[in-house]
Amino acid sequence: SRQYAPAEFVKQVKVSFEGEAIFQAETSFAVSENPSFRFYFVPQREGTLTAEVVDTEGRHFSESYQVSPVTGTVAAGN
């Protein structure tokens, strides 16, 4: 006999910097088993970058990182 296996996947991804949303995705079963999301963000000041994920079972996952602006010099002529 066949057993029904409910779909279990990442449902929502939110990324914020110092509490301000910078990336958000509402996903479906079409997302791969081990999804990778890419977005571009260059902080203008030091702060906390936080990623929050919710799956179809209602489980919440989050991780925060301290980030700072990229500093450096550009060689003459570039």
pLDDT in tens, 31-78: 877 888 888 888 999 999 999 999 999 999 999 999 988 765 445 544
Give yes or no for residue 1 having a pLDDT over 90: no
One-letter identity of residue 45: R
Locate the domains of the chain by residue range.
7-31+43-50
Give yes or no for residue 19 having a pLDDT over 90: yes
> pLDDT class for 4, splitting at 50, 70, 90?
confident
Place of tokens 């301000």: 20
3-state secondary structure of 59: coil
3-state secondary structure of 72: coil
Nearest to 49 by CA among 78, 19, 27: 19
pTM for the structure as a whole: 0.77
Place of tokens 């890419």: 38
**Strand order in 47-55's β-sheet?**
20-26, 10-17, 47-55, 60-67
